[in-house]
Structure 1
Amino acid sequence: MRIGAHVDSAEPLVEAAARGADAVQFFLTDPQGYKSPVPRDDAEQLRASEVDIYIHAPYIVNVASPNNRIRIPSRKLLMAHAKAAAEIGGKGLIVHGGHVGSGADLADGFTNWRKAFEYAAKDGGLPLPVLIENTAGGDNACARRFDDLARLWDAVGEFGAGFCLDTCHAFAGGEDLTGIVDRVKSITGRIDLIHANDSKGGFDSGQDRHDNLGNGKIDPELVVAAIRAAGAPAIVETPGGADGQTADIALLRERTGG
């Protein structure tokens, strides 16, 4: 079982060692900006490392948006980050499911997601798996409610889209964590990565506020059960720096046998 953490991008392998992590996730650029990634000086070390590398796309990427000024730059940014992630040996690029905004037709978001994959195919294809992540908030979101996730997968499943299950997002988004892996796999057929997070917000609160395992509103055994059932690598995106995340990784290792 590969278990790791979301870390600062400056020295991800140093951060991995500080946590005893098998995997790390980090941003390649400002998560709130549209800047494209630049080549990293440590690319060779990252490719050669035994630590699994995952890259998270900027939060502002929203390929579902009906707004051309958001959707089109988001498509381009997604491709740029996918290429940059592949260059450093990344195993996947995580991107939030996005939303269409108040008053818009959610069906347009699913269509726009399909167009994003078609756009990528015309640009030479995606060089690594894109892992769509479920989100906590937004009643007009493409991947908050699992009935909507099923509609999204009808649009993008044939392109080989991967899935990242965030336990905090699912709980805060109103999805019961009991048996969640079976429900997700009945829709997507796969879970490629788990974001193993507790939630400061309550069930169905719509609040994307992560907490350390056992400190929030989620029974940590439900997170452990999801990891066991999925058999997928897990990344903690929890607070407390190296100390907090080391404790979370230790808890998951102990209870999953990983």
Structure 2
Amino acid sequence: MRIGAHVDPTDPLAEATARTADAVQFFLSDPQGWKAPQPRADADRLRAAEVDVYVHAPYIVNVATGNNRIRIPSRKLLLAHAEAATAIGAKGLVVHGGHVNAGADPASGIENWRKALAYAADSGGFGLPVLIENTAGGENACARRLDALARLWDVIGEYEVGFCLDTCHAHAGGEELLGLVDRVKAITGRIDLVHANNSKDAFDSGRDRHDNLRGGTIEPDLLVAVVRAADAPVIVETPGGAEGQCGDIAFLRGHLAPETSAV
């Protein structure tokens, strides 16, 4: 199992070494900005590295919204990040599931997702797997609760999108971690990446605040069981810099021995 961390994008391979990580995830541009990513000088090194690379799309990307001033730029920015991620040999591009505005029909967000994926297909495709990530908050979210995720996947599953399971988001979003992997796979058929994070906040709080794996409000052994059951690459998006994340990676590696029970 490949285990790594979300790191500063300046020198991801050095950050991987500092964490003894098998994988890294990073942003290619300002996560709160609309600027398209620029070519990276280290693209050849990243493509050739033994470390697996994942890219996270900017937080502002929301292809589900009915607001044209956000939805249309989001489509274009997502495609631009996919192209840039492909250029550095990334194994996947993670993007949040997005949401519709208050009072809007959730079905409109699902249709907007379909249109975004159709737009990308008409533009030549993404070039790598786009991994939709479950989110922690918002009653109008497309991928907070599993019932909403099921409605989304019924429409967009034909585009062969992947799924990224975030443990903090699930807990804060009101989904029990016990049995979660089986419930997700029954909907999506797959989990391509796990964001293994503890949560600073209570179950169903709707708050997205990550904690280290042995801190927070989720039992650490439950996080380990989710990771084991998912059987997918893992990225920790936890605080504490290299030291904190190195500790989280070591914790997972030390507790992922085979056992008879799984989540």
TM-score bracket, normalised by the shorter chain, equals over 0.9
Instruction: Specify the code of the residue in structure 1 equivalent to 2:127.
Output: P
Structure 2: distance between partners of 1:126 and 1:83:
7
Q: Tell me, what secondary structure is at the counterpart of 1:93?
A: strand
Instruction: Specify the code of the residue in structure 2 equivalent to 1:29.
Output: S
Q: Which residue of 1 aligns with 2:261?
A: none
Q: Which residue of 1 aligns with 2:67?
A: 67
Q: What number of residue pairs does the alignment pair up?
A: 258
TM-score (norm 2): 0.97
Q: Which residue of 1 aligns with 2:147?
A: 147
TM-score (norm 1): 0.99
Instruction: Specify the code of the residue in structure 1 equivalent to 2:241.
Output: G
Structure 2: distance between partners of 1:240 and 1:187:
34
Structure 1: distance between partners of 2:132 and 2:206:
18
Deviation at 1:223, TM superposition (A): 1.1
2:227 aligned with 1:227: yes
The alignment's C-alpha RMSD in Å is 0.8
- Give CA-to-partner distance per residue, 1:137-174, whole Å, 9 cap, x none: 00000000100000010111000010000000000000
Q: Which residue of 2 aligns with 1:201?
A: 201
Where in structure 2 are there 5+ consecutive unaligned residues?
Answer: 259-263
Structure 1: distance between partners of 2:231 and 2:34:
34
5 Å-filtered alignment, 1:16-165, equals 16-165=16-165
Instruction: Specify the code of the residue in structure 2 equivalent to 1:199.
Output: S
Deviation at 1:227, TM superposition (A): 1.1
- Give CA-to-partner distance per residue, 1:79-98, whole Å, 9 cap, x none: 00000000000000000000
Structure 1: distance between partners of 2:201 and 2:155:
31
Q: Which runs of 4+ in 1 moved over 4 A?
A: none
2:172 aligned with 1:180: no
- Give CA-to-partner distance per residue, 1:104-133, whole Å, 9 cap, x none: 111100000000110001100110000000
Structure 2: distance between partners of 1:126 and 1:215:
37
Structure 1: distance between partners of 2:52 and 2:101:
35
Query: Quick one: percent identity of the two aligned structures?
Result: 72
Structure 2: distance between partners of 1:4 and 1:101:
34
